[in-house]
Amino acid sequence: MRSLLRKARGFIANKTYSLKGIVKGHHLMTYRGVPCIKCPFDYVIYQMILDEVRPDLIIEIGTNCGGSALYLADMLENIGRGEIHTIDIDDRAYELAKKNKRIKFFHEGWEGYDLENAKGFEKILVIEDGSHEFESCLGAMRKFGHLVSDGSYMIVEDGIVDALGQSGMFGGGPVKAIKNFMKNNTAFQIDHRWINMFGKNATFNTLGYLKKLTP
């Protein structure tokens, strides 16, 4: 055991990890063979949040190939409840995701999603993982924020574009949208428990774990 600990300490002390390397790797992430483009840190955090919140509806903005929806669906299967409404502007989802009984697909973008679809659910969690454009991100947060149940979350993905120097490509990006949203919304607080779980800001969802407060 001591030998293993010495090796672990040496590994940590002598190895340099770059953000660009992690970004490159996260684009190669798959779940059950389906592309699932998430930072491994956030990948783990999600299953912890789902176990804590136990939502019966997850609204996911940004389907892509359906890997994250499939992952979330399997987590819900483990919990024994819930479904996912995953939203995009086109249909690129793999067949494995399409066949999952817990996933419903919507192809008219978040603007075209009828909020009536969310009626009747007791515990709702929202994930904003769309274009990452400031205006689109903020618009989605404003549309879906009120659906989030007390004690649940609105998770805004990929604020990491700031650290990558790419926020200008997205009109300011998700972090700008989060700060703008929070100025006029006291119903949410940024949950630093998740943001700093693996180290200060060691997440791709910078400032993006927003917890709905219980009155």
pLDDT at position 214 is 83
pLDDT at position 52 is 97
pLDDT in tens, 43-84: 999 999 999 999 999 999 999 999 999 999 999 999 999 999
pLDDT at position 15 is 60
Buried b / exposed e along 121-140 (16+ C-beta atoms within 10 A): bebbbbbbbbbbbbebbbbb
Q: In 3-state terms, what secondary structure has residue 140?
A: helix
Q: In 3-state terms, what secondary structure has residue 60?
A: strand
pLDDT at position 18 is 82
Q: In 3-state terms, what secondary structure has residue 180?
A: helix
Which parts of the chain have pLDDT scores under 70? Answer: 1-17
Question: Domains of the chain (ranges plus CATH)?
Answer: 16-212 (3.40.50.150)
pLDDT at position 19 is 80
